[in-house]
Structure 1
Amino acid sequence: MKASQFSENAQLIAFVLQRGAEWNPEVIDALERTWGKILHKGKLFAFDKTPYYAPEMGEGLYRGVVSFVKVIPPETIAEEKERSNALEFSMASADNPDMRTVNIDIGYMDLDKVVLPSYKRGPFKLYAGKGVWLDMLLTYAKGVFHPTAWAFEDFKRNPYQHDLQLIREKFKKSRQ
């Protein structure tokens, strides 16, 4: 069998970090211009367990997950990471272009896991080419997404559980 016979698409998702407890319409519009129609827009949760992004983005940060109608071959996620970085910089502060107003962690979900690409290497990340490392942050088993031991704090608490289950269910139905 050819390797291409084993290829399957994955659900394109993004974890979006922004200021404010309501989805920013400009951010939603930019996401849809970049990746197409949003299929699911999750609830935003306070991103308050680490001050990591505060110096760059300010206080009152919230993160939520969205999925798109678009599905992708997982091996193309490095290209989507390039798009997400370009979008972040296009939306940067006019006063200071190095200050992002939004952080977009593009990634994919298949039936078993959630994977986010990163330009930062790490002991549990796998190299995907183009300077991109893949970080499997959540696995799916027995009806629940489980954080990996190295997942970020908000993924360990996983307030996104309900939204991720809805996204997975829609993705699973689309494959039938």
Structure 2
Amino acid sequence: MSKPIPALPVKLIFSILANDHKLINDTIDALSNIYGMPDYISARMPFDYTDYYCREMGKNLFRRFLTMEMLIDAEKLPDVKLKMNKIEEKTSVEGQRGVNIDPGYLSAAHLILATGKGYAHRPYLRDGIYADLTLIFQAGKFFSLPWTYPDYAEERQKMMFAKIRAKYLLQLKEERQ
């Protein structure tokens, strides 16, 4: 029989996608007001993996990743996703989003994204939110899965997440002391 033990807190991560630099910076400020200071903000990266968002959000999209200093309980991910949906709605003009915010978390074992779309590899959490297992950490590095989005599967992204993971593990160690 397994004996349940509480899960360790996880590293909150956000992907912010837009074509307006000010809107991305305003979104980072909004996230900071809710979750505290970020401890990592990526450089702007062109988002040219798909044209899925172009009709709604325009062309010349770019992305920034950020992580928050504050760790959270993994069970709070649906709440985070629902808050991001509200922020996206506030930036909408005539039903068209100005920004796409994908929250998730990083643990020692994996990277999980929150989504409102169910699929075979996305277990239901609650309130219409599903967990998308995006990357797994094994043998010292992150591995993509058959359904991992192409941009998350890129080696440079996996290396970025590995650095964030190392920082997260140090943070866990410091909090235990």
Fold conserved (TM > 0.5)?
A: yes
Aligned residue pairs total 172
Give 2:103's aligned residue.
106
Q: Which residue of 2 aligns with 1:17?
A: 17
Q: 1:157 to 1:74 in 2, by over 3 A?
A: same
Which 5+ residue runs of structure 1 have no aligned equivalent?
Answer: none
Is the 2:111–2:136 contact (alpha carbons within 8 Å) kept by the matching residues of 1? yes
In structure 2, relative to structure 1, the CA distance for the partners of 1:21 and 1:149 (3 Å cut) is: farther
1:8-28 deviations in whole A, cap 9, x for unaligned? 111111111121579832122
For residues 1-176 of structure 1, what are the structure 2 equivalents within 5 Å?
3=4, 5-19=5-19, 24-93=24-93, 96=94, 98-176=95-173
Task: Deviation per CA, 1:100-121: give whole Å up to 9, x if none.
Answer: 1111100100011000111111
CA spacing shift, 1:84–1:24, aligned 2, 3 Å: closer
In the superposition, the TM-score normalised over structure 2's length comes to 0.88
The gaps in structure 2 that reach 5 residues or longer are none
Matches of 2:53 and 2:162, distance apart in 1: 27
Deviations 1:102-151 (A, max 9, x none): 11100100011000111111011111121111110011123322111101
Percent of paired sites with the same residue: 26
Moved >6 Å (runs of 4+): none
SS at 2:17 equivalent: strand
